[in-house]
Chain A
Amino acid sequence: MIKFDRKALLWSVLLIFLIFVLSLLSLSQGPTFLPLDTIISSLYSQANTSTNIIIQEIRLPRTLLSIMIGAALGLSGAALQGYLRNPLAEPGIIGVSGCAALGAVIVFYSGLTSIISIALPLGGMAGAAISVLLLGLLAGYKSSVMTIILAGVAITSLAGSLTSLVLSLAPNPFATFEIFFWLLGSLADRSFEHVKLIVFPLVIGIGLLLTTGRALDALTLGEDVASSLGFNLQRIKWTIVIGISLAVGVAVSVSGIIGFVGLVVPHLLRPIADFRPGILLPLSMLGGINLTLAADILVRVVSQGPELKLGIVTALIGSPFFLYLVIKSRSKLQ
């Protein structure tokens, strides 16, 4: 709830404008640079030229996936931090992404993807849902920073070792290689098939998470007061679990693990939201889109030979940031 005041509104407009700019940049970047007028004419052209094919079938789906997955990651991070009332919570750190990847890898390995294409995002969703429930079971929903992180580490390492197990059982080295590279997180060589595959669950997940803003605001005052303000805590819990499972689960099933977006973005935008978790949700969604688009442009600009993996770039940006947050919170914990 609360006043969507001028500062938040101004930043939303700015972030939306940046999304347009970065989207155009994303369409222009690749092995061949394409200027703005070519991009715009190609987007509407029916002709079967190679430029049109590059824009419409390679760069456009890639850009759309950056936007969708960035939105899912930024929003999920903000929702999870608001719900657990903990600035260190993030789908990657607490094991959601790891479990979603495990789910997707199991589906990959089983060969179900060749029978029904929807199996892959379903696997990702199931993995993500299990991890959030496991986290609730291990740490409880009113737990300290330490308990959450520890439970998350436990879940992440469990998912990691099970993923390694599946990899080591893979029938041929090429399959192992393929899954391994997919896990590193990338948006390269994705098509409109991927966009179509995840758009519905992703939009539903994002929609669910966006409805929790008022409840997250109320939770600022603790669970008893939130409940006395008329919120059904069980319903909020399940909305968050299902929303994150849908959004992050399908995102990971298409892109592999792109970590730290959900950690960095809400943290940077929190002062702009005046620390209100509700307003932070849409802001973080827009911020997540910007960061993912920018990082995916970066991997294409800096790579000379084979393309750098997007998941590696976000981890390189995110890990030092995570360390900084840990050091900052150390003084509070002592």
Chain B
Amino acid sequence: MTETIVSNLSVSIGQKDILSNINFSIKSGETVGLIGPNGSGKTTLMRSILGLQKLSKGEVFVGGENIKIISKNKLAKQMAFIPQGGTSEWPLTVENLVALGRLPYTTNFSPPSPIDWEIIQNSIDLCGLKDLSTRRVSSLSGGEWARVCFARAISSEPNLLLADEPIAFLDPKHCFQIITLIKNLAARGKSALVILHDLSITMRFFDRVIILKDGKLVAVGSPKEVMSENFIADTFEVDILQGQANSESFIMPWKIR
């Protein structure tokens, strides 16, 4: 059982409610887009699921286990996190950086096994980084770096991938590359929760959408159900253009109200 359940989750910092009473679940093999205006609590929600944020109320279950009770190491094998932008404080090689994803599976006394290295190589291959594996990460382009972050995350073999704006700074081609990697992950039965600002990509590529506004969950459902022109326009307080192409409908932000 690899379902993720968020139940009655609230987070307050001081007097301010950052998130209030959030409920949803993510099934295995499902890709979920998390959208909402800036400051709506998306990153806080993601950090809460990861156990990085103190909850004032509610619970998070990953793979049937409460994240408060499960050991940090077990949790690390269940979930992988790609933060916004991402950093590498030292100029490691691509291969060594991707290898960091195997840390939950090693100890001081058991270094990565040949099996670990096989998984690392697989992750590198899956993300199309084979030719770059000996390059230093400091010399990579934005698109390459995004794929390295992704490869590091999947080398942990997580059941749930949490990514905070993984496509924010990418051109359309690299953007679609990352989306394809996320879809491939789902095809292998893993799930992904992804924070996005690109409404048309969210609508076209994700199985389900969660919309946050002012710390409240205002909608959850399939893109067709919840991403109507009017609702999105009201949520983001902008005018939305809706269109049709190849019998698929799409939306895009058009102008400020």
> Could you list which residues of chain A lie within 8 angstroms of chain B, going by C-beta atoms?
1-4, 85, 211, 213-214, 217-222, 224-225, 227-232, 270, 274-277
Contacts and interface: CB of A to CB of B under 8 A. Distances in A.
B96 to A, nearest CB: 6
Contacts of A225: 81, 83, 86
Interface string B69-98: 001111111011101001111111100110
Nearest to B73: A230
Contact of B106 (A211, A214, A231): A214
Contacts of A211: 108
Contact of B90 (A224, A227, A276): A276
B112 interface: yes
B99 A221 contact: no
A1 B102 contact: yes
A203 B87 CA distance: 34
A230 B102 CA distance: 11
A220 B108 contact: no
Contact of B156 (A217, A227, A229, A270): A229
A274 B73 contact: no
Q: How large is the interface on B (under 10, 10 to 19, 20 to 34, 35 or more residues)?
A: 35 or more
Closest 10 A/B residue pairs (Cβ): A230-B76, A85-B89, A228-B81, A275-B90, A230-B73, A230-B72, A230-B104, A229-B103, A1-B106, A222-B87
A49 B39 CA distance: 80
A3 B83 contact: no
Nearest to A228: B81
B76 to A, nearest CB: 3
Contacts of B104: 229-230
B37 to A, nearest CB: 22
Contact of B80 (A213, A217, A228): A228
Given A228-B76, A228-B79, A230-B75, A220 B106 contact: no
Contact of B86 (A1, A4, A213, A221): A221
A275 B112 contact: no
Contact of B47 (A220, A224, A231, A232): A224
Contact of B89 (A214, A219, A274): A219
A221 B100 contact: yes
A329 B43 CA distance: 32
30 contacts: A1-B106, A2-B96, A2-B111, A3-B112, A4-B111, A85-B90, A211-B108, A214-B108, A221-B86, A221-B87, A221-B88, A221-B89, A221-B97, A222-B83, A222-B86, A222-B89, A224-B47, A224-B50, A224-B81, A225-B81, A225-B83, A225-B86, A227-B51, A228-B52, A229-B101, A230-B71, A230-B72, A230-B77, A231-B72, A277-B90
Interface string B109-153: 001100001000000000000000000100000000000000010
A229 B97 CA distance: 13
A312 B178 CA distance: 55
Contacts of A232: 72
A65 B91 CA distance: 35
Contact of A220 (B51, B92, B101, B136): B92
A154 to B, nearest CB: 24
A2 B99 contact: yes
A220 B80 contact: no
Contacts of B93: 274
B54 to A, nearest CB: 13
Contacts of A277: 90
B156 to A, nearest CB: 7
- Which of B72, B93, B101 has most A Cβ within 10 Å? B72
Contacts of B156: 229
B91 A275 contact: yes
Nearest to B158: A228
B81 A1 contact: no
A224 to B, nearest CB: 5
A85 B88 CA distance: 10
Contacts of A221: 86-89, 97, 100, 152
A210 to B, nearest CB: 8
A229 B157 CA distance: 12
Contacts of B97: 220-221
A140 to B, nearest CB: 16
